[in-house]
């Protein structure tokens, strides 16, 4: 499902005083069971294969959804109340040490408790957050069965040393890991020293890369956050705004006469994630049109007249697509007759077969499998192929699936 983002595991943020302005994001509001049928369902819950069930659980966990899964000894485990960060003195290390030691001595470590990762940045935190999510993707096998649950908390715009120390103190109390991107060398050095002093596992993502590039270029970095070194109202900014406006106006087959003006054209059946993928690409400055494949509806003639190097087909597993359509139809309150035509497996397979025939008739269109890919992953494939094709590399003689 392409519209499922490569999203993040996030739990309840620790209580922090308002002057820190953390950007922790809340988890899903309710616990849900992925295999439970919704109230009022007319049919028993569908049975998934073990592989598909495992994939669904992993995606739900990474998006912040809590699963109703019983963990051994969960009822016996106790969680001590977290101490909020107050306006403590930066040099009050002894107080922190006593807090940490006393909390560690109260109870044995609960191996089922989620571990926290603090992401600290003097900018938006985008770089560190995406790096952490990419790394967490390597532990899906563990996260599926809640063997190693993780909570991530983002603290962005941290440019004051006192705020930085308060966050690190809270990390020490909670036993969290600290990952940071701080452009100011003095701030990064302070974070490193504090984490070392209080024995907090930490990682500086930006520092080593900056030092290597500085050595390679033979010049010193500015030490300023990127937000202060780049004007937001530059040429790239207006290009992105124009791309977003174009993409919104040309969503779901609208204005087919303007397909020639698009940088990228996405083609696929309903609910293959064309719209979220289009929006994501637009935020990178690409004008995107998407064209739906619908039984009984002819595709616009302009689709076959434009440069085929910018056309991409999207394909998805029929069982997964059926589940997405069922959920969509119910959320819209559509009648059972429409749901039958829209989400019955036979209808879904029929539309996908039509899409396959269209792609086979247009062999220069790459076909991208989106079933188990997040939006970012699919976008990366699209942009790689798009750039390769525009660089006049040889085009495939037959349609190739990615």
pLDDT, tens digit, 9 for 90 and up, residues 269-310:
999 999 999 999 999 999 999 999 999 999 999 999 999 999
58 contacts 143 by C-beta, under 8 angstroms: yes
pLDDT at 349 over 80: yes
Instruction: Using the structure block, give the residue that is written with the tokens 């190739």.
Output: 400
- Which of the four pLDDT bands, split at 50, 70 and 90, describes residue 94? very low
369: nearest Cα among 304, 303, 272, 291: 272
Output the pLDDT for position 149: 85
Q: Enter the DSSP assignment of 292.
A: E
Interacting residues of 359 by C-beta distance below 8 A, sequence separation 6+:
313, 315, 365, 367, 399
Distance of CA 185 to the CA centre of its chain: 29
Output the pLDDT for position 138: 87
Give dist(CA 255, CA 247) in Å, integer: 11
Give dist(CA 330, CA 69) in Å, integer: 25
Provide the β-strand partners of residue 117. 152, 177
What is the share, in percent, of the chain residues with pLDDT greater than 70? 65
Mean pLDDT of the chain: 76
The lowest-confidence range among 25-29, 129-133, 236-240, 270-274 is 25-29
What tokens were used for 373?
A: 């890919």
What tokens were used for 68?
A: 């109703």
Coarse DSSP helix, strand, coil percentages of the chain, rounded to the nearest 5 percent:
45, 10, 40
Give dist(CA 325, CA 375) in Å, integer: 18
Give dist(CA 292, CA 62) in Å, integer: 29
Output the pLDDT for position 177: 97
Radius of gyration over alpha carbons of the chain, in Å? 25
- Which of the four pLDDT bands, split at 50, 70 and 90, describes residue 20? very low
Degrees (nearest 5) of the Cα angle 320, 324, 326? 115
DSSP string, 134-201: HHHGGGHHHHHTTSS-EEEEEE-----HHHHHHHHHHHHHHT-EEEEE-SSHHHHHHHHHHHHHTT--
Output the pLDDT for position 341: 79
- Which of the four pLDDT bands, split at 50, 70 and 90, describes residue 357? very high
pLDDT at 226 over 90: no
pLDDT tens track for 177-224: 999 999 999 999 999 999 999 999 999 999 999 999 999 999 998 887
> What's the whole-model pTM score?
0.57
Output the pLDDT for position 146: 65
């Amino acid at each position: 499902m392409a519209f499922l983002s490569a999203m993040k595991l996030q739990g309840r943020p620790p209580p922090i005083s308002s002057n820190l302005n953390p950007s922790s994001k809340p988890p899903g509001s309710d616990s849900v069971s992925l295999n439970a049928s919704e109230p009022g369902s007319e049919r028993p819950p569908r049975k998934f294969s073990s592989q598909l069930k495992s994939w669904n659980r992993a995606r739900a966990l990474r998006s912040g959804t809590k699963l109703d899964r019983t963990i051994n000894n969960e009822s016996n485990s106790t969680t001590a109340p977290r101490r909020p960060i107050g306006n403590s003195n930066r040099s009050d290390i002894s107080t922190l040490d006593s807090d940490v030691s006393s909390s560690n001595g109260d109870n044995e470590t609960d191996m089922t408790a989620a571990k926290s990762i603090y992401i600290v940045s003097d900018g938006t935190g985008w770089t560190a957050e995406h790096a952490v999510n990419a790394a967490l993707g390597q532990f899906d096998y563990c996260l599926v069965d809640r063997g190693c649950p993780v909570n991530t908390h983002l603290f962005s715009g941290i440019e004051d040393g006192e705020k930085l120390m308060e966050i690190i103190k809270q990390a020490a109390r909670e036993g969290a890991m600290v990952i940071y991107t701080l452009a100011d060398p003095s701030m990064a050095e302070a974070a490193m020293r504090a984490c070392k002093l209080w024995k907090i596992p930490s990682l500086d993502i930006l520092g080593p890369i900056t030092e290597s590039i500085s050595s390679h270029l033979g010049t010193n970095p500015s030490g300023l956050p990127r937000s202060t070194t780049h004007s937001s109202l530059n040429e790239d900014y207006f290009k992105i705004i124009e791309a977003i406006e174009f993409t919104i106006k040309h969503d779901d087959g609208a204005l087919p006469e303007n397909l020639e003006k698009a940088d990228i054209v996405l083609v696929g059946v309903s609910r293959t994630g064309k719209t979220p993928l289009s929006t994501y690409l637009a935020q990178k400055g690409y004008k995107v049109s998407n064209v739906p494949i619908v039984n009984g509806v002819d595709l616009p003639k302009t689709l076959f007249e434009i440069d085929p190097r910018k056309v991409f087909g999207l394909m998805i597993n029929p069982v997964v697509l059926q589940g997405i359509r069922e959920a969509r139809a119910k959320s819209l309150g559509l009648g059972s007759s429409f749901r039958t035509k829209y989400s019955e497996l036979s209808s879904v397979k029929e539309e996908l077969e039509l899409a396959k025939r269209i792609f086979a008739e247009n062999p220069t269109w790459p076909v991208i499998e989106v079933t188990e890919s997040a939006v970012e992953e699919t976008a990366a494939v699209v942009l790689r192929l798009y750039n390769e094709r525009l660089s006049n590399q040889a085009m495939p003689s037959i349609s190739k699936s990615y």
